[in-house]
């Protein structure tokens, strides 16, 4: 991926320091960030979809594992967050590899016909279950769906759906408030 890994890490550490020093903005943090980075390294996706850009922290974790030519589409409904993410991506040197879509994630998923090798889901938890089937349809064979916060009580039905889905092999990783990793069967 365009961008120097050292530049990406510098931006990640700056974001972490700002949150640690009192900024109230949810990020997945360094432990889950390393898990997301590792999953990305293992799968080497060429096309990634991220739902819930925030200020770009998770996208930066994904980007540092990608090879040149890989692309990320990231969807954020709040313009001010997308603008800050844009600045972070530019500073990290990855802006040419990232397409930021400002809008509703569910609308984007329903309108796109593009297929992705990896999808990272971190939006309103009430949308997870509704988006599961459309997201599986957008995943390529052997593609990976990673979802954050899956141990939240309101995601009980989502956890059951991914673990019993006929097209997915899923694992729940109980770090923090949980992440799920699901692979679309080949």
**Per-residue pLDDT tens digits for 65-90:** 999 999 999 999 999 999 999 999 99
Q: What angle do CA 24, 20, 80 make, to 5 degrees?
A: 35
Spell out where 37-103 has E strands.
47-51, 71-76, 98-102
**Per-residue pLDDT tens digits for 4-25:** 899 999 999 999 999 988 878 8
How many whole angstroms separate alpha carbon 101 and alpha carbon 86? 11
From the list 180, 65, 172, the residue with the least C-alpha distance to 122 is 180
Indicate whether this model's pTM tops 0.85.
yes
Which residue range(s) make up the domain with 127? 5-184
Structure tokens at 126: 């009430």
CATH number of the domain to which 34 belongs:
3.40.50.150
Alpha-carbon dihedral 65, 67, 69, 70, rounded to 10 degrees = -30
Bridge partners for 119 per DSSP: 49, 145
- Domain count for the chain: 1
**Per-residue pLDDT tens digits for 147-179:** 999 999 999 999 999 999 999 999 999 999 999
> Please, what is the average pLDDT of the chain?
96
């Amino acid at each position: 991926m365009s961008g120097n890994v050292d530049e990406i890490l510098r931006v990640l550490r700056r974001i972490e320091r700002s949150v640690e020093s009192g900024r109230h903005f949810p990020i997945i943090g360094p432990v889950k960030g390393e898990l997301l980075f590792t999953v990305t390294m293992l799968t080497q996706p060429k096309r990634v979809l991220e739902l819930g850009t925030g200020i770009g922290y998770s996208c930066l974790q994904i980007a540092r594992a990608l090879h040149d030519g890989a692309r990320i589409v990231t969807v954020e409904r709040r313009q001010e967050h997308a603008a800050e993410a844009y600045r972070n991506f530019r500073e990290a040197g990855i802006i040419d590899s990232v397409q930021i879509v400002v809008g509703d994630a569910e609308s984007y998923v329903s309108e796109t016909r593009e297929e992705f090798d990896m999808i990272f889901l971190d939006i309103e938890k009430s949308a997870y279950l509704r988006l599961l089937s459309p997201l599986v349809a957008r995943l390529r064979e052997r593609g990976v769906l990673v979802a954050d916060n899956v141990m939240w009580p309101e995601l009980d039905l989502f956890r059951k759906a991914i673990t019993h889905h006929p097209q997915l092999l899923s694992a729940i990783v109980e770090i923090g408030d949980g992440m799920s990793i699901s692979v679309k069967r080949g």
